[in-house]
């Protein structure tokens, strides 16, 4: 799968695993995605073969037992900032990952067997909500898929610097999950002063989510920082096509004018 193809897809048509593999191969072209594909296939076959639980709690426990229990995939608490924790192929090989990477595995697996599972954007974290039988259960893929009470989820959110909106956390779309997966790496690259790495990641972000204006803004800023003014102008021009906010349009045009003056 080409990254540019993801950007053209309707959100519902994005295969999270294949998209994640494409992102892994962008950094590690010779990475072997076989284990990840086999795990997903084996998990799905087991869920379809067994007498699958009908309740949200039963489904949550069953998936956590397979992914975290049998296969040992959970959060990397020892080396959290390791870039491989946001690489789905590496996560499958190493058995460790970031909250968003692990959440993608749970969501993708559930969808393969027709279950409804949502990844929730918790401030500073990601939780997964498993539905079934008229109820739902929250789990934390980063913590061995353990069940999380609403009160505990609120505590996690407060620790991350936020609170639920109206008592609920936003459900992430497929594209938003992929954006969050890459954004984790991009943020760390920027904090480490690795502008070229951050820019490479924002180039990927704008490929898979070309309609998100903020990504073009960040990309243009990085391009401007390293003197790629023509590229920065192109990114800002692309951004103009993604927004109808008059204030933002004015800001973009002002920045474009400043770039034009600086290149004279």
CA–CA separation, 94 and 114 (whole Å):
28
- Tell which residue, 151, 207, 169, 144, has the closest CA to residue 1: 207
Whether 202 and 219 have beta carbons less than 8 Å apart is answered as yes
- The pLDDT, as a whole number, for residue 178 is 97
Helix (H, G, I), strand (E, B) or coil at 140: strand
Same domain, 10 and 63: yes
CATH number at residue 191: 1.25.40.10
What pLDDT does residue 234 have? 93
**pLDDT of 40:** 97
Q: What does each of the 264 residues of the chain score in pLDDT, given as a tens digit?
A: 889 899 999 999 999 999 999 999 999 999 999 999 999 999 999 998 887 778 999 999 999 999 999 999 999 999 999 999 999 999 999 999 999 999 999 999 999 999 999 999 999 999 999 999 999 999 999 999 999 999 999 889 888 777 766 668 999 999 999 999 999 899 889 989 999 999 999 999 999 999 999 999 999 999 999 999 999 999 999 998 888 888 888 888 888 888 887 765
Residue range(s) defining the domain that contains residue 59: 3-159
Residues 151 and 179 in one domain: no
Q: In terms of domains, do 154 and 182 share one?
A: no
- Provide the number of structural domains found in the chain: 2
pTM, rounded to two decimals = 0.92
Q: Using CA atoms, how far apart are residues 161 and 158, in angstroms rounded to an integer?
A: 5
Half-sphere exposure of 106 (CA within 13 A, CB side): 39
DSSP conformation class of 12: G
Nearest to residue 140, comparing CAs of 160, 120, 158? 120
Does some domain include residue 165? no
Please indicate, yes or no, if residue 203 is contained in any of the structural domains: yes
What's the confidence (pLDDT) of residue 184? 84
Residues 95, 223 share a domain: no
Same domain, 196 and 76: no
Residue 83 belongs to domain with CATH number: 3.10.620
Find where tokens 């073969």 sit: 49
Query: Is 79 in the same domain as 126?
Result: yes
Are 85 and 137 part of one and the same domain? Answer: yes
């Amino acid at each position: 799968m080409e990254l540019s193809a993801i950007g053209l897809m309707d959100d519902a048509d994005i295969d999270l695993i294949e998209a994640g593999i494409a992102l892994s191969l962008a950094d590690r072209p010779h990475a072997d995605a076989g284990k990840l594909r086999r795990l997903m296939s084996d998990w799905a076959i087991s869920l379809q073969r067994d007498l699958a639980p009908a309740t949200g709690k039963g489904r949550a426990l069953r998936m956590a037992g397979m992914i975290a229990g049998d296969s040992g995939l959970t959060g990397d608490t020892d080396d959290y900032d390791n870039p491989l924790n946001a690489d789905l192929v590496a996560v499958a090989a190493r058995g460790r990952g970031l909250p968003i990477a692990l959440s993608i595995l749970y969501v993708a697996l559930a969808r393969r067997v027709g279950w409804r599972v949502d990844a929730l954007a918790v401030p500073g974290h990601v939780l997964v909500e498993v539905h079934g039988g008229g109820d739902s259960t929250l789990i934390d893929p980063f913590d061995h898929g353990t069940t999380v009470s609403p009160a505990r989820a609120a505590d996690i959110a407060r620790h991350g610097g936020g609170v639920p909106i109206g008592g609920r956390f936003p459900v992430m779309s497929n594209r938003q999950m992929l954006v969050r997966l890459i954004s984790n790496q991009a943020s760390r690259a920027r904090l480490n002063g690795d502008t070229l790495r951050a820019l490479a990641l924002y180039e990927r972000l704008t490929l898979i989510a070309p309609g998100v204006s903020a990504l073009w803004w960040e990309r243009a800023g990085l391009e401007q920082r390293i003197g790629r003014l023509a590229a920065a102008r192109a990114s800002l021009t692309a951004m103009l096509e993604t927004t109808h906010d008059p204030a933002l349009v004015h800001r973009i045009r002002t920045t474009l004018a400043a770039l034009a003056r600086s290149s004279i």
